[in-house]
Chain A
Amino acid sequence: MSDTIARTATPDAAEPEPPRRARRVLRTATDAFLRRREASVLLVAIGLVVYFQASTPIFLSTDNLRNIAQATAPTAIVAVGIVLLLVSGEIDVSVGMVAALAPYLMHYAIDFYSIPAIPAILLALAIAAGIGFVNGFITIRLRVPSFVTTLGTFYLLYGVLLTTSHAYPVAIPEPTKGNIQTWLGAGDWATLAWCLLIVAIFHVVLTQTRWGLHTISVGGNPLGATEAGIRATRVKTGNFMIVSVLGAFAGLLEAFRINSIDPNIGGGTPITFTAIAAAVIGGTALAGGSGTVIGALLGMLVLAELQNGFNLLGISANSFFLIQGIAILVSMIANQYLSRLRRAGRT
């Protein structure tokens, strides 16, 4: 994020002489920072680190940082996809079920059909992409609101998952053990590394590519985007597919990390809703047109810090949801207020 700030700050600050220039660079940088939507979430995330570290010194220990990273990463990966989809004006509540189903798909492919490990993983991701495509098709071609479409696929996938797995957990398939499992989740910082990589890629996709621009356009002005010749169907369906694939990938990472494929752990409703919460706390509008991938990562970090910090402080896990609820409401209200403020500040 720091390089984006620097880039936005430099053009204005080119002319004046050195001593004043430094101050002016600092001021434009501060301005640019505060104007960024991620700023407030970052401040909250840092504030929580300071608070929890002050209350319990092990908060910043390596072990605990790893805990936070592992709690943040998979959901943040899903949240990245959710941001893209929300920005394009749609939502997907089935993604958690895709995350739960994907490791089973891999397991079926390897253990029942003797497909080698890597193709099996790719197959699981491809099927997830197919699920995303179906979500997109039903939503856009058949004009069912995406919330309803994906609520339907959510139950459908849940049914598929429970009937095919008989609701029993299974072990990680033998061929994936070793390198694959380590790299895809079991390694200490593997999930975090994937998460940061995915966040970086999709931050660039959303802000620096045609795909991102068109995603913002179809969410911000659906009619106008179509009039400009942007194929809304393609953009939205593509984003449904991206969410699903990211969901499946997060599900696989979690399965490898906890070393078991379980219908009730790793996927399901919690990951969906936490990811949406992270996106929303990170400043993504449900109405489409605006949102940030980095904001979602920070939003997820805040939620993970809260949960972790509460655990360390011995505060009941039950009250965590209280805080999460308040966090969502406060950030949404702040968002409304801030965007009105930004509009009012027009020249």
Chain B
Amino acid sequence: MSTEALRVENIAKRFGALTALRDVNLRLDQGEVLGLIGDNGAGKSTLIKILCGFHKPDEGRIFVEGEEVALRSVEHARQVGIDTVYQDLALVNELSVYHNMFLNREKVRWPLLNNRLMRRLAKQHLDDMGVNIGDVSIEVAKLSGGQRQAIAVARSVYSDARILLLDEPLAAMGAKEGSLILDLISDLKARGTVSIIIIAHNYAQVLQVCDRVNVLQHGEITFDKPTSQTSQQELTDLVVAEYRAGRAARAANNRRSKP
């Protein structure tokens, strides 16, 4: 369990005058589920976009399974085994489940799509993962939020991702839908073939499945503990304290600017 899947050292990223990430250090072990928590504007999405190859960091280094990589593009990140399930899921509503499963990795019998093969493989794989949606030819638009999320996760796993970034996998999801996803993550953890980073700002649900929790604040990781040694209360206090400090600072600023 202690071999390293991903290590990030001193990552910094600025957009003009805005410093999104100051100095991020992070480590993900093989088969581990890491919860990455941060409030809005803490730099979560920038960090994901760097790890998935969308943005290039201004500074810092990324190691995948011990080897340094300079991620050139989303496709390159995927080649080295990092795949992301975005909040918007990158599913195309107008396409069938199996077409979405193979989006941009379509099975082809040139020049045509090999729909029969994709349908069969998609069904097989979803069954394997315990995702039950019945007919894989159905349009994604007709599925529920939880089912859509499950398909997006299944798609990443199917593409041989070894490091999976889940961006707010439980956002805007009911309890029942949410537990579908948490079960799926637990299953993946039990298999041990993928390492997962769950990015979330609702940590209550995340704690159930994570081995370790990191907190991202103002572009830095300020907190790193195994889940067993922390509690929801501690995390709440941490975030609330930050919020209070921020409010106090703003108030002070306002007082200063008003004559």
What is the minimal beta-carbon distance from B209 to any residue of chain A, in angstroms? 24
For the complex, give the distance between the alpha carbons of A133 and B37 in Å. Answer: 45
A224 in the interface (beta carbon within 8 A): yes
Which B residues are in CB contact (< 8 Å) with A290? 94
Which B residues are in CB contact (< 8 Å) with A217? 92, 95, 103
B86-142 CB contacts (< 8 Å) to partner A: 86, 88-95, 99, 103-104, 106, 108, 111-113, 115, 134, 138, 141-142
Within 8 Å by CB of B112, from A208, A229, A343, lies A208
What is the minimal beta-carbon distance from A344 to any residue of chain B, in angstroms? 10
For the complex, give the distance between the alpha carbons of A30 and B111 in Å. Answer: 30
For the complex, give the distance between the alpha carbons of A204 and B103 in Å. Answer: 18
For the complex, give the distance between the alpha carbons of A223 and B142 in Å. Answer: 20
For the complex, give the distance between the alpha carbons of A138 and B88 in Å. Answer: 28
Q: Is the CB of B86 within 8 A of A227?
A: yes
Count CB-based A-B contacts (< 8 Å).
71
Residue of A nearest to B112 (CB): A208
Q: Is the CB of B92 within 8 A of A216?
A: yes
The digit string for A287-302, where 1 denotes a CB below 8 A from any CB of B, is 0011000000000000
Tell me how many residues of B have a C-beta within 8 Å of chain A. 28
B74 in the interface (beta carbon within 8 A): yes
What is the minimal beta-carbon distance from B147 to any residue of chain A, in angstroms? 10
Residue of B nearest to A12 (CB): B135
For the complex, give the distance between the alpha carbons of A217 and B74 in Å. Answer: 17
For the complex, give the distance between the alpha carbons of A225 and B74 in Å. Answer: 12
Which A residues are in CB contact (< 8 Å) with B91? 221, 224
Which B residues are in CB contact (< 8 Å) with A228? 90, 103-104
Residue of A nearest to B93 (CB): A220
Within 8 Å by CB of B113, from A208, A223, A289, A345, lies A208
B84 in the interface (beta carbon within 8 A): yes
Q: List 19 A-B contacts (CB under 8 A).
A: A204-B112, A209-B111, A209-B112, A210-B108, A213-B103, A216-B92, A216-B95, A217-B92, A217-B95, A217-B103, A220-B93, A221-B92, A225-B103, A225-B104, A228-B90, A228-B103, A229-B73, A229-B74, A229-B75
